[in-house]
Amino acid sequence: MSTPKIWVLGDGQLGAMMRYAGQPLALDVQPVDIMAPSAKTLPLAEQDIVTAEREQWPESATSRQLSEHQNFINGPVFGRLADRFSQKSLLDKLGIATSPWVNVTQTTSATELHRQLGDKVLLKRRTGGYDGKGQYWLYADKPDEVPAQWHNAAIAEQGIAFDEEVSLVGARSRDGRCHFYPLALNLHQDGILMASIAPLPRLNSLQTQAEAMLSSIMAELDYVGVMAMECFRVGDTLLVNELAPRVHNSGHWTLTGCHTSQFELHLRALMGWPIAPLVPALPVAMVNLIGVDWQEQWLTLPGAELFWYNKQVRPGRKVGHLNLNVTDAAQLTCTLATLKTCMPAHYLAPLNWLGHELLS
């Protein structure tokens, strides 16, 4: 059997996990550092497939070669979703619930935004934001204005007093069929994902609603592969917060919690291969390792699997994650207690949250 090589635009942890997922299937997955100074023309064959692990990329000879390949999957989708203006416009067009928003133009004032969107308004840069970067809050009771450099470069959203945040990760195959994991419950701190839990039975009642939303988005875009949809839950209703046309941090639980991980799912969809039902094997609590040094103690935790990205540790930077397989309460109690002793103070709230959701 001659299989095409799969090239990944980007060589971060998502590309690495995709490469790892390809190995048992004998799929040659090649993440590419698009800014490598020594970059030569890549030996791309006509039948090869190109995917991306990021929504946006700088122009380089390498990124151009990859994104102009005839089998660059979902090519036009990236630009459309990477800009919050066109992403929100797409949701509106499809009639999918999302936080009320307006475009920030040259003349948009804070007063006008508060009049249209309420007391709490969140400015989000149209492109390039991640992990809560590229956000600016405006409060009606604090004198403030739209910062100069945010005009014509941001959208403004109503601040949503949501109950909690969930996300749906799924894939659309080449034949148009959609496949979904159960919803994940996510905890963000300062705009950055700290921890996820999936599956969680109490979220089952939202599954159909979420799947209908993401199905219609992926169908509209004629999308192939894995996409993630982040949502706010407000009562029984989901509001889409944002879409990511790629494998996603809130889907990392599938590396240990499901027979087909999100990375393998993406590869199968790209290849047009069959996709078996995505039945979780066991619940997982995923803890992101953010700005923390490698600790041998993580390896002593029973039922825990460490994914270390081999990146330089910097404050606020995701450098790995731990998947805690939730098989019995006593073990999880013990694991959370150990983590509380070895993790920095800002992990106390996420670890307590995991205990509350999974043990009470």
Q: Which residues bind Mg ion (CB under 5 A)?
A: 230, 242
d(CA 162, CA 236): 11
Q: How far is the CB of 279 from ligand ATP (least distance, A)?
A: 27
99 versus 260: smaller Cβ distance to ligand ATP: 99
Q: Which does 308 bind (CB under 5 to 8 A by kind): Mg ion, ligand ATP, none?
A: none
The residue (of 69 and 248) whose beta carbon lies closer to ligand ATP is 248
188 binds ligand ATP (CB under 6 A): yes
CB-based contacts of 65: which residues, under 8 Å, 6+ apart? 41, 42, 44
Give least dist CB 186 to ligand ATP, A.
Answer: 7
Decide: is 131 part of the binding site for ligand ATP (CB under 6 A).
Answer: yes
| Binding status of residue 160 toward ligand ATP by CB under 6 A | yes
Rounded CA-CA distance 313/145 in Å is 35
What are residue 194's phi and psi, to 5 degrees? -100, -40
Structure-token pair, residue 337: 């207690």
| Residue 139 bridge partners (DSSP) | 120
The yes or no reply on residue 75 touching ligand ATP (CB under 6 A) is: no
Task: Based on the shown chain and the rule CB under 6 A, indicate whether residue 241 belongs to the binding site for ligand ATP.
Answer: yes
Q: Which residue(s) pair with 169 in the sheet?
A: 228
**Closest CB to ligand ATP among 195 and 301?**
195
Neighbouring C-beta atoms of residue 277, cutoff 10 Å: 7
11 binds ligand ATP (CB under 6 A): no
167 contacts ligand ATP (rule: CB under 6 A): no
Q: Which does 131 bind (CB under 5 to 8 A by kind): Mg ion, ligand ATP, none?
A: ligand ATP
Contact 8, 19 (CB under 8 A): yes
Instruction: Select from ligand ATP, Mg ion, none the partner in contact with residue 114, using the beta carbon and a kind-dependent cut-off of 5 to 8 Å.
Output: none
Nearer to Mg ion, 165 or 264 (CB): 165
Say which entry of Mg ion, ligand ATP, none residue 206 contacts (CB below 5 to 8 A, set by partner kind): none
Which stretch, 63-71, 152-160, 309-317, 347-355, contacts ligand ATP (CB under 6 A)?
152-160
| Nearest residue (CB) to ligand ATP, 69 versus 233 | 233
Between CA 217 and CA 91 the distance in angstroms is: 8
User: How many C-alpha atoms does 78 have within 13 Å on its Cβ side?
Assistant: 17
Stretch touching ligand ATP by CB under 6 A, among 67-75, 127-135, 259-267, 314-322:
127-135
Stretch that binds ligand ATP, among 141-149, 153-161, 206-214, 300-308 (CB under 6 A): 153-161
Residue 152 zone, left/alpha/beta (φ > 0; ψ -120 to 50; rest): left
Contact 120, 98 (CB under 8 A): no
Which of 65, 74, 99, 256 forms a contact with ligand ATP (CB under 6 A)? 99
DSSP 158-216: EPP--SEEEEEEEEE-TTS-EEEPPPEEEEEETTEEEEEEE--GGGHHHHHHHHHHHHH
Cβ-based nearer residue to Mg ion, 157 or 230: 230
Task: For residue 50, give the amino acid letter.
Answer: V
Cβ proximity to ligand ATP, 8 vs 117, nearer residue: 117
CB crowding 229-247: b at 16 or more within 10 Å, else e: bbbbbeeeebbbbbbbbbb
- Binding region for ligand ATP (CB under 6 A): 99, 122, 124, 129-132, 157, 159-160, 165, 188, 191, 230, 241-242
